[in-house]
Amino acid sequence: MSSDLSQIIVTTKTDPFRSAHGLTVHHRHFPEVRGEGDSPEEAAARLAELLSRTLDSAPSNWRRGILLRAIEDVRAFAQRERSGPSCGLSVVSRQGEDSRG
């Protein structure tokens, strides 16, 4: 299998009211599972751990295959060497979000 770094989304979040900065990484196929960290690589490593924990509870071999490909993508992202400002990745910035909806 070859990894696809275009499936990885890095999200930065700045909350000016709390003076907090955050960084999360998720895979396009699993947007509900997010790894957090101080760097994109650290967040991706955490995401790979979280996705790996779900392998045993995959409802089918098909879903397990999708999980394995996602884990490979995320691990490749975490171990990549940076070759440019964004390395062709999707980066989303969210400012001033709150949970009030």
CA distance from start to end of the chain: 40
Write the DSSP symbol of residue 16.
T
Residue 88 pLDDT class (50, 70, 90 cuts) = very low
What is this structure's pTM?
0.73
pLDDT digits (tens, 9 = 90+) for 12-53: 877 666 666 678 999 999 999 999 988 899 999 999 999 999
How far CA 47 is from CA of 17, 83, 100, in Å, comes to 27, 22, 26
**Sequence spans of domains, the chain:** 5-95
Tell me if 34 sits within 8 A of 26, measured CB to CB.
Answer: yes
